[in-house]
Amino acid sequence: MPSKLDSGNDYRCFWNIIHVKYGIQIVGILQAAFTIMGLFIFLVPHNFNTILGILEVLSIIGEVLGIIVLFLGIKKESSNCLLFFIVFECLTVLISIAFFICGIFAFSDPNGSSGHILAQIVDFTFGNGTADKLGLTNFELNAILTILSSFFSILFFTWYIKIVYRYYIYLCDLKKIGQNPMPQQIRQKYTLGPNLV
């Protein structure tokens, strides 16, 4: 038997409050809410920049596919279905890191290439010419907001990945245990929490 099955905290999340099989459902609901919110933001009329617009459409399609696969993985208890979601969230973290770095460079040099990229994103989001109308101080404020939002995205999606990966390990360990008889002390581990009297 793997030694981690002896510990009660291996399959718990949300600061060891709930079991990971319930935590993954919360992650799925949060991700679905953010996807719906992103879809509504995309549907708000704005100028469509070809390259950034295509990236946004691909991102929304990826999020919808990720949600579908995540809920299939939860419903069927399939560890293989969770891999797509983990890979997608890792890509999201990498993109957030790129935006974080771009925001730092745009803040330090608004006229450089990173500042130009951020100006295109601001124009795409709020309409053409918005970055020019903002002026340097407001543009730097947008760079700071990009840095902060990217930083929190990195933290948030890394937390998502951690919970989904724990659930993935949980399902893999259940498969291993399913092939062998489960001792009583290990069976007690899979209850919702400690016995409180």
Tens-digit pLDDT profile for residues 19-75: 888 899 998 999 899 889 888 877 776 665 666 677 778 888 888 898 999 999 989
**Per-residue model confidence (pLDDT) at position 128:** 58
Neighbours of 15 (CB within 10 A): 6
Q: In 3D, which of 26, 25, 23, 89 has the Cα closest to residue 62?
A: 89
**Range(s) of the domain holding residue 158:** 24-175
**pTM for this structure?**
0.72
Dump pLDDT digits (tens) for 93-147: 999 999 899 888 888 887 787 777 777 766 666 655 555 565 656 677 778 888 8
Highest mean pLDDT among 6-15, 144-153, 187-196: 144-153
13, β-bridge pairs: 18
Contact 134, 122 (CB under 8 A): yes
pLDDT score, position 1 = 44
Tell me whether residue 167 is in a domain.
yes
Please report the pLDDT score of residue 152 as a whole number.
92
Residue 78 resides in a domain: yes
Q: What is the β-pairing status of strands 12-13 and 18-19?
A: antiparallel
Number of domains in the chain: 1
φ and ψ at residue 20, rounded to 5 degrees: -65, -25
Report if residue 103 sits inside a domain: yes
Q: What are the start-end ranges of the E strands in 4-120?
A: 12-13, 18-19
**In a domain? residue 9:** no
Residue 57 neighbours by CB under 8 Å, 6+ apart:
42
Residue 77 within any structural domain of the chain: yes
Residue 17 falls inside a structural domain:
no
Domain membership flag for residue 190: no
Q: Is residue 60 part of a domain?
A: yes
